[in-house]
Amino acid sequence: MTGEHVVYRNEVSHRFARAELLRRWRAGEVSRDEVCDADFLLVTAAQYHGVPAGHVCPVCESDDLRIVQWIHGEQLGRMAGTARSDEEIARIVASGREATVHTVEVCPRCRWNHLLTAVTATTR
């Protein structure tokens, strides 16, 4: 690693949409199946690559809620669309590539999931 730090910019927050979706679910406007629809790959990535969220699942109240980061970008080749740790993201951007990092909240128990933020990771 070159010693450069990761710079995160252009953050887009989806927390308002999360709060609105949960409000609609609690009001009975949206079914649980609609909010708990994480696919096998997302649940597996959360279990093996995610970190504890630090709060319970907003749907089933499980304490196993996880935060997982997915990277995307034209410069990433086959790495695009994969779950990565902070350390892996730092190594990738240190090699001169830029990545969009999607931070997703996932509950392996009930399959709740929601995109929290999207941010550009780079060294410049």
The string of pLDDT tens digits covering residues 18-63 is 999 999 999 999 999 999 999 999 999 999 999 999 999 999 999 9
**pLDDT surpasses 60 at 2:** no
Please write the tens of the pLDDT for every residue from 55-99.
999 999 999 999 999 999 988 889 899 999 999 999 999 998 899
- Please give the model's pTM, rounded to 2 decimal places: 0.88
CA distances from 112 to 79, 80, 100, 115, 120 (A): 25, 23, 22, 11, 25
Nearest CA to 46 among 65, 72, 23, 73? 65
Give the Cα separation of 121 and 28 in Å (integer).
Answer: 38
**pLDDT surpasses 50 at 4:** yes
Residues 4-30, mean pLDDT to the nearest whole number? 93
Nearest CA to 62 among 36, 81, 44? 36
